[in-house]
Amino acid sequence: MDRLDVMRLYVRVVETASFSQAARALKIGQPTVSKQIAGLEARLGAQLLRRSSRGLSLTDAGQSYYDSAVRLIEDFTAAEQRVRQGQVAPSGPIRVAISASFGRVQIMPRLPAFFARYPDISVETDISDRYVNLIERRIDVAVRIGHLADSSLTARRIGRTDIAVLATPAYLARHGTPQTPGELGRFPCMTYLIDGRPRPWEFSGPAGAVDFIPQGPVRSGDAEHIRAGVLAGIGLAQLPTWLVVDEIAAGTVVPVLADFAPPPYPISAVTPGGRLQAGRVRAFVDFLADAFAADPDLRISAGRQPAPAASPRRNPG
């Protein structure tokens, strides 16, 4: 193998976290993979991969070499394509990590317009409300809602969502309307779970940010179940307004505690750090940014901006 082939082999090993899977994908024997990686480490004079009974992990040198290798391979591939074909329309598959609710409500209805513009691109969704590892899951881009922790990932802000505490008029007629976050303890509320833990409701008050842990008869890790509970009159819930925009407009649900609403949450397109984005991924992210910019419920406004956060805060959806 020449150096570029070995580099490609190494990238495949890292992304599959397996010598045997890389060998099958490249249709070569596993001993050849082991020999080539060992030779690469010897030539570089550095250990790139840690082998254990639990699998493979990257050393610091291995991560650095991986990031550089991905950039070089993508640059080389792009250069070859430009020479052979000129500038051609983006094509190929994209793996997109997205939450179930946001994907159903905000992504899927927009895909027909995307496919009309880019008929040679296909989209595969990886559905999860958790922040998955993009490299391990072979994700090209993740759409994430909330403040992002510092990481090696590359993020582009493409929109924002407002957050509101909501209830039906009938619920408020029965229980009354809270005037401050401090009154919420006497109201039935619904709890959104992230990794099995309650997500605090966030508020902005005269003394700064305030968190409230809801208590009530319904706990769910699915935002649309929480929305259904609000519509059924079970309790109050804090939700992204894009999930109930039609109901708010119709008066079916009513926002409360508006004076204490937190700053909008950012919506970000996140890609693995160190990679040159493929044209199809750039096209998808640009499309979403343009689509959200045309939507008053999602576009980045010049008004209230999301406050910085020291740790990630995720919102349902």
- For 163-260, give the CATH class: alpha beta
Residue in 263, 280, 262 with CA at minimum distance from that of residue 271: 280
Q: What is the CATH number of domain 3-85?
A: 1.10.10.10
Q: Do domains 92-160+265-314 and 163-260 have the same CATH topology?
A: yes
CB atoms inside a 10 Å sphere around CB 157: 14
pLDDT of amino acid 307: 39
70-88: pLDDT as tens digits: 888 888 877 776 665 545 6
Q: What is the per-residue pLDDT for 52?
A: 80
What whole-number distance in Å separates Cα of residue 84 and Cα of residue 27? 26
State the Cα–Cα distance between residues 313 and 317, nearest whole angstrom: 13
Structure pTM?
Answer: 0.67
Q: How many CB atoms lie within 10 A of CB 39?
A: 12
pLDDT digits over 263-297, tens only? 899 999 998 865 556 788 989 999 999 999 999 99
Q: Where are the domains of the chain?
A: 3-85, 92-160+265-314, 163-260
Residues of the chain with pLDDT under 70: 81-88, 150-152, 273-277, 302-317
Rg of the chain on CA atoms, in Å: 24
The predicted structure's pLDDT at residue 313: 47
CATH superfamily of 92-160+265-314: Periplasmic binding protein-like II (3.40.190.10)
Give the pLDDT confidence score for residue 235 in this predicted structure: 93
